[in-house]
Amino acid sequence: QFLQEAGARLAGFDGVIQGNVPIGSGVSSSAAMEVASAMAWTHLLGLTFEKKALALLCQKAENKFVGVNCGIMDQFVSVFGAAGHAVLIDCRSLQHELVPFDASRAVVLVCNTGVKRELATSAYNERRAQCEEAVRRLSRRYAGISALRDVSVAQFQAAADDLPQPVRRRARHVVTENQRALDSVQALRQGNLAEFGRLMNESHESLRHDYEVTCRELDVMVDLARSVRGTYGSRMTGAGFGGCTVSLVSPDAVDEFRQRVAAGYREAIGLAADISVVVPADGAGRVA
């Protein structure tokens, strides 16, 4: 529909969709589907779309069809991801930077709690509305504020009492998380994995206490991951209320991580933990 609205003339085709990205688990399965489908359409029908425009069309599908008022991050990374790199995105200008990630020094492990995030869509939209309320209030105090990214940590701390709860907690998470993202890039550039892991841990605590989108299963999984010697950091990923965690682990600790987290999670929750090693890879594209 949105390709047609953008001027594309579409025709039908027979196809099969196959994938291994867990659905409803906070690892952007919908964005992967949107981007892969859009690229298949454009290739099969000989259409030409600039990559950023394609990512924006896929975001529009998520907003209007799926009903999640998400930003551009998931779709953008699905388009612009690069092997061996993390991606720093400016969601306002849509400029991005590839940040080298040395997979020989640390392994990324994704742990699926096995809990579907039933509340995630409504809670995501609710929190977005709360953040927009924070912007309205803060813009009365500070000029040039059109989003929480325009608010520094110091500015937020000075104006925090102007915000009612839970709006204050929601905004505090976003403002501090924006700074953590920038600090994390600096840590990666410096090869400081301990600092990167500390920021991951801090992020999860903010998501747990300020943004309030974790759940018992996610918190147990993160706590188990952090208990393994060789884990730099661990946090939930996605919209929350279930789904997956992501952990940064020393290569020589991966086997112990798998064993201890799986055993501890089954003992605490009664469910099997699906644990996968993932590597930064190229974004969507034609493979054959």
* Domain CATH number, residue 218: 3.30.70.890
- For residue 282, indicate whether it is catalytic: no
From the candidates 74, 90, 102, 274, give the one annotated as an active-site residue.
74
156 with 116, same domain: the answer is yes
Kindly tell me the burial class for residue 267, based on how many C-beta atoms sit within 10 Å of its own C-beta (0-12, 13-18, 19 or more).
exposed
124 with 262, same domain: the answer is yes
Tell me how many domains the chain contains. Answer: 2
* Domain CATH number, residue 62: 3.30.230.10
- Per the rule left: phi > 0, alpha: psi between -120 and 50, beta: everything else, 240 is left
Structural domain including 41 reads 2-80
Q: Are 248 and 196 in contact, with CB atoms under 8 Å apart?
A: yes
Q: Are 243 and 237 in contact, with CB atoms under 8 Å apart?
A: yes
Look-up of token digits 């999670």: 265
Per-residue pLDDT of the chain (288 residues; tens, 9 = 90+): 767 777 777 777 788 888 888 777 778 788 999 999 889 888 888 888 899 999 999 999 888 887 777 889 999 999 999 999 999 999 999 999 999 999 999 999 999 999 986 666 778 889 999 999 999 999 999 999 999 999 999 999 999 999 999 999 999 999 999 999 999 999 999 999 999 999 999 999 999 999 999 999 999 999 999 999 999 999 999 888 899 999 999 999 999 999 999 999 999 999 999 999 999 999 998 887
Q: Are 249 and 230 in contact, with CB atoms under 8 Å apart?
A: yes
118 with 249, same domain: the answer is yes
Q: Does residue 263 form part of some domain?
A: yes
Angle in degrees, 0-180, between the axes of helices 167-190 and 120-141, rounded to the nearest 10? 90
pTM, full prediction? 0.88
